[in-house]
Amino acid sequence: MADTHMELEIDNLRAGYGHLDILHGVNLKIRHGEFVTLLGPNGAGKSTLLKSLFGMTTHKGGAIRWKGKDIAGLRPQAMLGHGIAYVPQGRCNFQLMTIDENLEMAAYTIRDGDLKGEREYVYDLFPILRKRRNELAGNMSGGEQQLLEMAMAVLRRPEILLVDEPSVGLSPQAITLVFNELKRLHKGGRTVLLVEQNTRKAMEAAERAVVLRLGKVIWDSPVGELSSADLGELFMTGRRASDAQPA
Ligand SMILES: Nc1ncnc2c1ncn2[C@@H]1O[C@H](COP(=O)(O)OP(=O)(O)O)[C@@H](O)[C@H]1O
Ligand SMILES: [Mg+2]
């Protein structure tokens, strides 16, 4: 049954690549406006889950309900139409184009879009980008390019942002910059689902932590209920030491 309080309801989702099964029955519910971080060891299926929510994997079973409607198996373009935006891992902007031109490319898919208006909307959210609008993306720092990636996703005014490992390869200052922007986007009313290796930063920014291991959710709680020691245990063994049965 659909829970109408939930914006996103993932119910026993099974997905993978072709014949390969990666997600083995994922359950996760996210409310409108929540900031959830999805953590887990390498290869757990975190990126696969984000990709599945954006229609980029092979759907094998279960439901993805967005505002009560099952969207599992839809194509990325349709997901965009539903207000879902995906910021993939790594930087995929057009290095030889300016910031302005990159945003123009991002706006290209909006039917009847008002390019100038969309761009100004994004520049209001990311003033750093406005200042550098005529510079080549490839000449910006890693952190600024990551902001550009988020800006390109935000341009369509999505309701949820799926962000995969935005801190990879960034300096500590750049990581702070990117996380501050994520927090600001969240305060502005967006739902955020963030995959991060930098668990400390992710737990500072998010309200809820979900741990994925071997293609299943093994933990889901407010961030305050999970210590870094617990997290290490969960990653390694799939359970917390404090949860162990007394001998
Ligand atoms: N395009 C793909 N084709 C086949 N297998 C993939 C593909 N992408 C990822 N995988 C596999 O899926 C599993 C989960 O990967 P991934 O979702 O990237 O994990 P995480 O993001 O948690 O590190 C890994 O075993 C990985 O090798
Ligand atoms: Mg990944």
Predicted confidence pLDDT, tens digits, the chain (247 residues): 556 678 999 999 999 999 999 999 999 999 999 999 999 999 999 999 999 999 999 999 999 999 999 999 999 999 999 999 999 998 778 899 999 999 988 887 776 667 888 889 999 989 999 999 999 999 999 989 999 999 999 998 899 999 999 999 899 998 999 999 999 999 999 999 999 999 999 999 999 999 999 999 999 999 999 999 999 999 999 998 777 555 5
Question: What is the edge-to-edge ordering of all strands in the sheet holding 69-70?
Answer: 20-31, 6-17, 58-66, 69-70
Q: What angle do CA 205, 29, 208 make, to 5 degrees?
A: 20
Query: What are the start-end ranges of the E strands in the chain?
Result: 6-17, 20-31, 35-39, 58-66, 69-70, 84-87, 160-164, 191-195, 208-213, 216-222
pLDDT at residue 26, as a whole number: 98
> Does 3.40.50.300 match the CATH number of domain 6-240?
yes
114 CA to centre of ligand 2 in angstroms: 34
Provide the pLDDT for residue 108: 79
Using CB atoms within 10 Å of the CB of residue 158, give its burial: 0 to 12 exposed, 13 to 18 middle, 19+ buried.
Answer: buried
Q: How far apart are CA 185 and CA 85, in angstroms?
A: 13
User: Distance between CA 111 and CA 203 in Å, rounded?
Assistant: 37
- What's the CA-to-centroid distance between 242 and ligand 1, angstroms? 30
pLDDT of residue 3: 64
Ligand 1 pocket test, pick from 39, 47, 195 with the greatest ligand atom count within 8 Å of Cβ, gives 47
Q: Give me the residue spans of the domains in the chain.
A: 6-240
**Which listed ligand is nearest to 42 at the C-alpha?**
1
Which protein residues are within 6 Å of ligand 1, measured from CB?
17, 20, 22, 40, 42-48
pLDDT number for residue 4: 61
